[in-house]
Chains A and B, each alone.
Chain A
């Protein structure tokens, strides 16, 4: 592999960043591994196109990771739509499961529910929320990664949190009602 040494160095430096970010999107280790693999193949194939004047290497890798995760989730949703057709012919698709290695067993149920709500957010709100509240990136960094202004990022995060609070409240209401009935 040409330039193997530098690619390996890039992989070693950013593998955990890419893997953990992918986990926040797909919420299970198997899918996160697949996405991480795709990200680094893309990095390798496009390294010659990378221009350090436009963005830092970290920002560039963040962008590839986010886009690759969004593509993965889009493909998964398309598969699900066709799943009912394939199930008629006896071939059922396994639903995506929550198996986040960064979540302790005692917190699994709570975070599984929260991620179910996060997954319903529009993808820009979801990305801004993940980068801000889980990855703990500064608003300036997030703005650079997403190609937005700091104000726009702040607005996305606030809307994401407001949407989550609203749907979390509704969700609790329905669950409590279900228990009482």
Chain B
């Protein structure tokens, strides 16, 4: 048999071309599916034979290197480090998705090893991660949320694994990072209310140290600047959760300070930008509890992961959500981490993800 170029593997399309038939026909014939005339099937099989289809004896060089589709199927094991935290919905929804990894239609079946370091000391947490990484032979690490650079360095020095940070805030040269673009989200959420005619807009956020709260706030300011409105900074509240429950006294203070609280009733044209659905539920339940007549309009960030979302909206007369598809962020983050493991991407890529769509969750029937 003639020597063949080892880098030109015979494909089904080559057979198709040789016979002037479609690739689908060739594929069906080779896999024994019905629908191909016996005579044609025989011709396809002979051509396949002649061309050397599936014959790897002349492709020694190729054998040493996995093909692109083999690489795509290679499964890795990743450690996912997080601190289970009631006040961060974002972090919880990421971990929920990772607990059910891989998603449907994935080619590679990567395994996620979840490592919870909630409530344990710096050194114990570092030890826990290092031990698990070593015993379970992890190929890479993902951290969800904010971790100090000292802690990350401690772990990195012991493990030297490819590392992907999700919603972290530090920029370290070799670290790849995917972050939610809170600034853009804050802008879009505020702009939506401004477009609907509100000029006094309040905001309820997670505590400022939590990743995107500060960015949401500055996005809120940015939207006001573009619309030439003065932001009412008195109505921006960073929540202070305690053990996962919001303190009652603060809630009452909060409602008494609501913008235009004197304009009770469904005609109050004031809006609120809410960081997430748990904050929305909090506001909703507080308004109901004090039997308020105040029925605001709200915009909020939502996740595309429906298992997480339960939002009680009866206290609001119009709700719009800006959806951040966290499943997609993770898919892209994992793909980048996989390329890092194969040394196919440049170190230290940082990408910001924004929402993908704005949906009206609850329509104002008076509009």
Are A and B co-members of a single complex? Answer: no
Residues of A whose CB lies within 8 Å of any CB of B are: none
Residues of B whose CB lies within 8 Å of any CB of A are: none
